[in-house]
């Protein structure tokens, strides 16, 4: 959503203060030593093998999306690895859906069922073929649509607005939690958003990453409770953003149920998931496994979509 200039300026100022405070806190812990994930002994940061237990050590990983080097011209957040992956899938799917729509002779003129977001850009039947959330087909067994719908968009305005939010907030969440946790949070909140949407509108068609994006906002809100007064100010601005989106959702064809589901699940994960890189070998293996599983689920869902692509509806 495009915020009023005054709100946008305040949000950018708070985000800048948040990043500076977070980076300062990380600098306090960035010493010449680090902890071995196997025996938890302190070793030199440049060591490749722990001198105490002999375990091989990975090179220290830099946080994604932090500092001026992670921002275009020092202002615009650059997509970090997880953000690039998720945004790339959305963009590729949009290009494919646009190409299919053009081959069908274009989308019907007018606002269509997606209202403000449509502009007649993508044909609705193309979106259903590619995996939109559609209750009758999902209750018939096509549950993979809970995943594929996250990455589909109805038009240029729709994907443009969602990618703006993803490239703006994605690096913030990825830097705060780490790439593996970020990918899991995005997928889980997106799926939960469509579960709520399916319960609220079992016969409706819905697409878009906005439920997962609301999940990222929810995760930031929950994490802000661990950052004192600065977190309070940042949280206040994020809640205003949520309220702004909710008010607009009353007048336009937003999937408010998916937004609510994403926000609630994001709040829960932001509270439960610890910030930063995993602090032990076991924790690192767990989050690596969950992130790989998330990628497999995404790829598998689109593989199932391809297998069902030419089957008749119903």
Structure tokens at 110: 């007018």
Check residue 65 and give left, alpha or beta (phi > 0: left; psi -120 to 50: alpha).
left
Query: What number of other Cβ atoms are within 10 A of residue 136's Cβ?
Result: 12
Helix, strand, coil distribution of the chain in percent, nearest 5: 65, 5, 30
210 catalytic? Reply is yes
pTM reported for the whole predicted model: 0.75
259 catalytic? Reply is yes
pLDDT tens-digit readout, 8-43? 655 666 666 666 655 554 444 344 455 566 665 656
pLDDT tens-digit readout, 43-86? 676 677 877 777 776 655 444 444 444 554 444 445 457 899 99
Q: Residue 72: enclosing H or E segment and its boundaries?
A: strand 71-72
Minimal CA–CA distance to 187: which of 218, 215, 219, 217? 215
pLDDT: is 26 or 134 the higher one? 134
Handedness of CA 243, 111, 152, 207 (dihedral sign): positive
Q: Could you give the CA distance from residue 277 to residue 280 in angstroms, rounded to a whole number?
A: 9
pLDDT tens-digit readout, 155-192? 888 899 899 989 988 988 998 899 999 999 999 999 99
Of the candidates 175, 206, 210, 224, the residue annotated as catalytic is: 210
Domains of the chain: 8-60 (no CATH), 76-308 (1.20.1540.10)
pLDDT: is 118 or 8 the higher one? 8
Task: For residue 308, give Cα distances in angstroms to 4, 291, 313.
Answer: 43, 26, 9
Of the candidates 224, 227, 259, 265, the residue annotated as catalytic is: 259
Contact 131, 118 (CB under 8 A): no
DSSP state of 205: E
């Amino acid at each position: 959503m495009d915020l009023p200039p005054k709100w946008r300026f305040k949000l950018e100022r708070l985000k800048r203060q948040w990043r500076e405070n977070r980076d300062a806190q990380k600098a306090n812990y960035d010493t010449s030593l680090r902890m071995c994930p196997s025996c938890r002994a302190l070793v030199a940061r440049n060591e490749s093998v722990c001198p105490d237990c002999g375990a091989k050590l990975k090179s220290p990983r830099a946080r994604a999306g932090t500092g001026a080097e992670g921002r275009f011209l020092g202002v615009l957040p650059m997509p970090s690895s997880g953000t690039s992956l998720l945004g790339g899938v959305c963009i590729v799917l949009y290009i494919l859906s646009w190409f299919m729509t053009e081959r069908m002779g274009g989308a019907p003129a007018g606002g269509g069922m997606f209202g403000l977001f449509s502009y007649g850009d993508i044909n609705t039947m193309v979106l259903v073929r590619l995996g939109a959330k559609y209750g009758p087909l999902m209750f018939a067994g096509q549950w993979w649509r809970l995943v594929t719908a996250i990455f589909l968009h109805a038009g240029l305005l729709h994907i443009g607005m969602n990618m703006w939010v993803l490239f703006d907030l994605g690096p913030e969440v990825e830097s705060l939690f780490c790439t593996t946790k970020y990918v899991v949070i995005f997928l889980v909140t997106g799926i939960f958003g469509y579960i709520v949407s399916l319960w609220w509108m079992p016969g409706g068609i819905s697409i878009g990453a906005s439920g997962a994006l609301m999940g990222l906002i929810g995760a930031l809100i929950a994490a802000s409770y661990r950052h004192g007064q600065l977190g309070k100010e940042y949280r206040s601005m994020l809640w205003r953003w949520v309220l702004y989106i909710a008010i607009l959702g009353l007048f336009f064809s937003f999937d408010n149920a998916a937004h609510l589901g994403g926000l609630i699940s994001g709040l829960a994960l932001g509270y439960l998931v610890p910030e930063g890189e995993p602090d032990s070998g076991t924790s690192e293996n767990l989050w690596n496994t969950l992130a790989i599983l998330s990628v497999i689920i995404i790829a598998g869902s689109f593989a199932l979509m391809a297998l069902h692509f030419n089957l008749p509806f119903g």
